Amino acid sequence: MRGTEISRSGRRRRREGFGKQILVLATILAFAPSYLVARFQEKPAWNLFSRDKDIELGKQYSAEVRKQLPLLTESDPITKYVQSLGHELVAVAPEHYPFSFRVVNQKEINAFALPGGPIYINLGTIQAADNEAQLVGVMAHEMGHVLMRHSTAAASKELAARFPLAILGGLMGQGPGSQLIQTGIGFGVGSYFLKNSRHAESQADLVGTDLMYDAGYDPHQMAAFFEKLEKEDKTGNSAVAQFFSDHPNPENRAEAVSREVATLTPKTYRPAAPEFATIKREAASLKPLTAKQIAALESKTNETMGQPASGEVMPNGSFKTLSHSAFQMVYPANWEIFGDESSAVTIAPRAGMTANAVAYGAIVNGFQPEPKGGAPTLDDATHQFLDSIRQSNPDLRVISQDEDIRLNGLPAKSVNLTGDSPIQGPGGHPLLERDRLITFLRNDGTLFYVIFVSPDRDARQLAPTFDKMQSSLRVY
């Protein structure tokens, strides 16, 4: 065909030119700084908030964190050490954010990131790390959440589900503080929007892998630390329960990190740093506060504005067992049972109930689905129940896809919902409520369900208790 033939000399010139391009590229890669090698292919999800508003929100809520959590001082050697590690990671970050790093004097192993850059590492995390790279891995992972803008992306999804575009346009034209007060969404300590999905965890792992690699740290140590925590969690170590509540463990975490590292140029990682051993000894000498102690201090110092104090509603750490005619489940020893052995049951602290609603606790009952051409399936019965409760609670919204779980070794469903809490917040606006619905189809066709209820601000702190209640549940 005309126009497709190339002379031998033309082909030879092309091969020679292409070979020179490869040689030039190889030379560039051989002498390029390591931060040009990592790819950072992960991209943030759709987001209503601008990058600048992320930063604004981070500054706003970091001021709240300083009031609510016991932070080590800026001059503390542990704080200075963590900040020095953070500077190493920030130097290779693919995008500039005003990252900051503070240490929370808390025993539980955890870390969290606010939008726009503020990162907080619990002292218990430093005490648990076996080496510097493991600690850096936690910090790089949290930086991944900031760079991927996970918290404001989750808030954007929530806003889009609740408001028409016309209203959203007006809200987004205001300052972050006022718009969030109107919607009930916030990023304070314990916020639902600081709790990540498994997809977000995987994304933060990959970004963290590249950050560690570019800074000269072995990324495999990040996966090794998370695997260590997973083993501790299985032994019932309460110090790690909150970590996996906020950072649900994605499948094949170590394999995913290894696959990402395999795409990068092999390199020699930093040797063990002697300074870590010194800081670890310093951390071991301290006696950090527990989450329960911090909550007790907060309840004494903060005005409640008509809301129950944390000490009145939060579990005390001890559990009792409820043996009902239809089920068995453990519950916090300082909560009460409302109902009897043959009726619907509410398990809640007395201060967490209003005249006609539950603000904190669990509601256990059954629902009889309508047959539709045969015996109802679990999926159909669950959606019938959701339609039913939304008729009486029009503000209630499903915020996640049905998740298939196991209960008594049999199929069950888990659904996350949100609505207005019966508790009023600043300005008389209702607080945002977070509900977790668990459904199970009994042999008689009845849908057994449990709804775990709490205000959004306390959802993170109550999650380990609700997890324990759910895992103990046995349906007869």
Give yes or no: residues 100 and 234 share one domain.
yes
Which residues neighbour 128 within 8 Å (Cβ) at sequence distance 6 or greater? 109, 225, 228, 229, 239
Give yes or no: residues 373 and 258 share one domain.
no
**Residue 418 is assigned to a structural domain of this protein:** yes
Answer yes or no: are the C-beta atoms of 474 and 450 closer than 8 Å: no
**Residue 137 is assigned to a structural domain of this protein:** yes
Give yes or no: residues 467 and 331 share one domain.
yes
**Residue 45 is assigned to a structural domain of this protein:** no
**Residue 454 is assigned to a structural domain of this protein:** yes
**Residue 337 is assigned to a structural domain of this protein:** yes
Answer yes or no: are the C-beta atoms of 233 and 447 closer than 8 Å: no
Answer yes or no: are the C-beta atoms of 215 and 91 closer than 8 Å: yes
Last residue in a domain, options 239, 254, 289: 289
54: enclosing H helix or E strand: helix 51-68
The pLDDT value recorded for residue 20 is: 42
**Residue 193 is assigned to a structural domain of this protein:** yes
Spatial separation of the C-alpha atoms in residues 189 and 310, rounded to whole Å? 13
E strands of 44-157, at which residues? Answer: 100-104, 111-113, 118-122
Phi-psi region of 320 (alpha: psi -120 to 50; beta: other; left: phi over 0): beta
**Residue 33 is assigned to a structural domain of this protein:** no
Spatial separation of the C-alpha atoms in residues 465 and 450, rounded to whole Å? 14
Spatial separation of the C-alpha atoms in residues 79 and 103, rounded to whole Å? 6
The pLDDT value recorded for residue 243 is: 83
Closest by CA to 104, choosing from 136, 137, 147, 69, is: 69
Give yes or no: residues 219 and 336 share one domain.
no
Give yes or no: residues 311 and 433 share one domain.
yes
Last residue in a domain, options 239, 261, 289: 289
What are residue 418's DSSP bridge partners?
A: 397, 434
The pLDDT value recorded for residue 355 is: 56
Give yes or no: residues 341 and 455 share one domain.
yes
pLDDT in tens, the chain (476 residues): 323 233 333 434 434 443 444 343 333 333 333 333 455 677 888 888 889 989 999 998 888 888 889 999 888 999 999 999 999 999 999 999 999 999 999 999 999 999 999 999 999 999 999 999 999 999 999 999 999 999 999 888 877 776 665 555 555 555 544 455 455 677 878 777 888 888 899 999 999 999 999 999 999 999 999 989 888 888 877 778 778 877 887 877 888 888 888 888 999 999 988 999 999 999 999 989 988 888 776 655 444 434 665 567 899 889 999 999 889 999 999 999 887 666 678 999 988 887 567 899 999 998 889 887 778 899 999 999 998 887 767 778 888 778 899 988 889 999 999 988 888 776 667 888 999 999 999 988 899 999 999 998 888 889 999 999 999 999 98
Counted domains in the chain: 2
As separate numbers, helices (DSSP H) first and strands (DSSP E) second, the chain gives: 17, 14
Give yes or no: residues 250 and 349 share one domain.
no
What are residue 346's DSSP bridge partners?
A: 338, 363
The pLDDT value recorded for residue 217 is: 97
Which residues neighbour 133 within 8 Å (Cβ) at sequence distance 6 or greater? 212, 217, 218, 221, 222, 269, 270
Give me the domain span that covers residue 62.
51-289
Give yes or no: residues 274 and 357 share one domain.
no
**Residue 81 is assigned to a structural domain of this protein:** yes
Give yes or no: residues 315 and 283 share one domain.
no
Give yes or no: residues 243 and 362 share one domain.
no
The DSSP 8-state label assigned to residue 194 in this structure reads G
Give yes or no: residues 270 and 147 share one domain.
yes
pTM: predicted TM-score of the whole model, two decimal places? 0.61
User: 100-104 and 118-122 as β-strands: parallel, antiparallel, unpaired?
Assistant: parallel
The pLDDT value recorded for residue 43 is: 84
Residue type, 314: M
For residue 327, the domain's CATH number is 3.40.1000.10
Last residue in a domain, options 263, 289, 315: 289
Give yes or no: residues 64 and 199 share one domain.
yes
